Chain A
Amino acid sequence: MFELLQYDFMQRALLAGILVGILCPVIGVFLILRRQSLIGDGLGHIAFAGVTAGWLLGVYPVLSATVVTVLSALGIEELRSRRPVFADMVLAIFFYSGIAVAIILSSMVKSNNVNLISYLFGSIVTVSESDVQTIAGLTVVVLGILFFIFKELVAVTFDEEAARVSGIPVKKINTMIAVLTALTVSVSMRIVGILLVSALMVIPVAASLQLSRSFRSTLINAVIISEISVLAGLVLSFRADLATGGTIVMTAVTIFIGAFLSKQLNGFSLARMGTHKSE
């Protein structure tokens, strides 16, 4: 493990991975409980349009992707709040528009597309010093805002109507979570890739939900599972020369399957104990 740290690119990848591993599940808990698991996926595709636009305009792609995803997230949230029934349709329209724009713009990029592909699938070797700085900066901002509005976010997620009546600014909180999701997508795409960015928001939380007995423990376990997935995935992808994003996500999926089976077996054992007692 320690010999990996001899490589500069691995140090950068591990640092960026640790930050992304905290951020994704923390925001993901709220997305899953709000039934918005796929918003990260939609914003990821929109982020790709931002990356290609940045590439064409000669702007740092993470910056252009951040601007495009934040603006799109605001648009999605505004339309979702006006027409909640059509929320998934709104997301789908943004999703397809994003990928369509990305395809058009990437066809206009004259240089080689290898770097663009690294954004799609994630790559540890292409994580630069400025990527790490951007990821660190955005992580501090997102976690800081989340810490500030955390209890309101939990209350709104649990019961939006009751939260609104109690005077919590529900619309502002919803807008904030949309913006934070967009920032998280932009931050995470360098490590897990645009196509799998949503997976790191969803799968560690889904695994944690199988094991946890409170909101607090759900959050903590999700971060632990996410960190294990990121670190194990990074090391494995380096050792076996596999795609980084895919390896990280498959590690998380394996943990989820283990957690799910463990819960089922526990339930089965408890049911059997109950049967024996009643006998």
Chain B
Amino acid sequence: MNVLAIKEVSFSYLPSQPVFEQINLTIGQGRFLAMVGPNGAGKSTLLKLCVGLLKPTAGRIELLGTPLEQFKDWSKVVYIAQQTLRDRNFPATVEEVVAMGRVAPAGIGNRLKKADYDLVEEMLITVGMQDFRKRMIGELSGGQQQRVAIAKALVAKPEVLLLDEATSGVDTATRENIYSLLRSINQAQRMSIIMVSHDVECISHYADQIANVDGGITYYGDPADFQQFCRLQRGSRPAQGDWGEISYV
């Protein structure tokens, strides 16, 4: 089964300026897809369309086999925005933030139970943040906050995890750590991951599929072949490393 199917989807913020037109993309279960592309190409917009935060101007999107308008099983989907912490002064500990991931599965009016908090502890260990559980979220570094955001996503036990630039503003070593963590989660739990990234070269070592978004889907396939695609695209233009002009870092 496809976890996500984008069928003939068009979208524009202003009628005269389409972000993309009639794009198609399907993502199979258990895949780790990286959406790459230049700034302003519409990667984040496409991700927001996939989770219903924006509505397409044409076409349709299916999530876990159900059209988005009829999709009700939101506990199976988790979205991590580009800016995981909107307010550095938000007075919450790491533990409290991760527990927020159990709010929707628990249901309105129900308190979180011991099993929920056990899961919070388990996921803090998974992302290596167990020693920070009582720290205030705003006191952590960007990379640590991303790990907390991933733990918050994992406690919901989703089938699909969508991340928008999960590694923006962190150094290369932290970025590789986060990609590696996501890859191990993807392989251990067969969780489908769709991730927007600027870092083509690095993410290609971890994702098993690449979609290049640039006014449409200009490439969709293996990371290894994407390197060849980049060389062909580059043509006679000056090279910028192995990835040529499609190195969006």
Chain A positions near chain B (C-beta within 8 angstroms): 33, 148-149, 151-152, 154-155, 158-159, 161-169, 209, 212-218
Contact = CB atoms under 8 A, between A and B. Distances in A.
Given A168-B104, A216-B96, 15 more contacts: A33-B90, A33-B91, A154-B96, A161-B79, A161-B81, A162-B79, A163-B103, A165-B52, A165-B74, A166-B78, A167-B75, A212-B91, A213-B134, A214-B91, A215-B96
Nearest to A164: B53
B91 A166 contact: no
Interface stretch (B105-113, B190-198, B237-245): B105-113
Interface in B39-62: 51-53
Q: Which 4 A-B pairs have the closest CB atoms?
A: A167-B74, A166-B104, A165-B79, A218-B91
Contacts of A214: 91-93, 96, 134, 136
19 contacts: A149-B109, A154-B103, A155-B104, A158-B92, A158-B97, A159-B81, A159-B86, A162-B79, A162-B81, A165-B51, A165-B52, A166-B74, A166-B75, A166-B79, A168-B103, A209-B89, A214-B91, A214-B134, A214-B136
Contacts of A167: 72, 74-75, 104
Interface of B: 51-53, 72, 74-75, 77-81, 84, 86-87, 89-93, 96-97, 100-101, 103-104, 106, 108-109, 111-112, 134, 136, 156
A151 B112 contact: yes
A215 B103 contact: no
Which one of A33, A155, A162, A209 has the highest number of Cβ atoms from chain B below 10 Å of its Cβ?
A162
Given A151-B103, A213-B136, A158 B90 contact: yes
A148 B107 CA distance: 11
Nearest to B137: A158
B14 to A, nearest CB: 16
B78 A165 contact: yes
Contact of A161 (B53, B91, B93, B100): B53
Contact of B108 (A149, A163, A166, A215): A149
B236 to A, nearest CB: 43
Contacts of B86: 159
A209 B91 contact: yes
A213 B134 CA distance: 8
B147 to A, nearest CB: 16
B108 A148 contact: yes
Contacts of A149: 108-109
Nearest to B158: A166
A214 B156 CA distance: 22
Contacts of B103: 151-152, 154-155, 163, 166, 168
Contacts of B93: 213-215
A163 B51 CA distance: 12
Contacts of A158: 90, 92, 97, 100
A33 B77 CA distance: 26
Nearest to A221: B91
A215 B103 CA distance: 15
A216 B96 CA distance: 9
Contacts of A154: 92, 96, 100, 103
Contacts of B134: 213-214
Contacts of B108: 148-149, 152, 169
Nearest to B109: A148
Contacts of A216: 96
Contacts of B75: 166-167
A214 B52 CA distance: 32
A87 B117 CA distance: 37
Contact of B77 (A151, A165, A212): A165
A167 B105 CA distance: 9
A151 B79 CA distance: 19
A152 B108 CA distance: 7
Contacts of A148: 108-109
A154 B103 CA distance: 9
A149 B110 CA distance: 9
Contact of B106 (A151, A163, A213): A151
B53 A166 contact: no
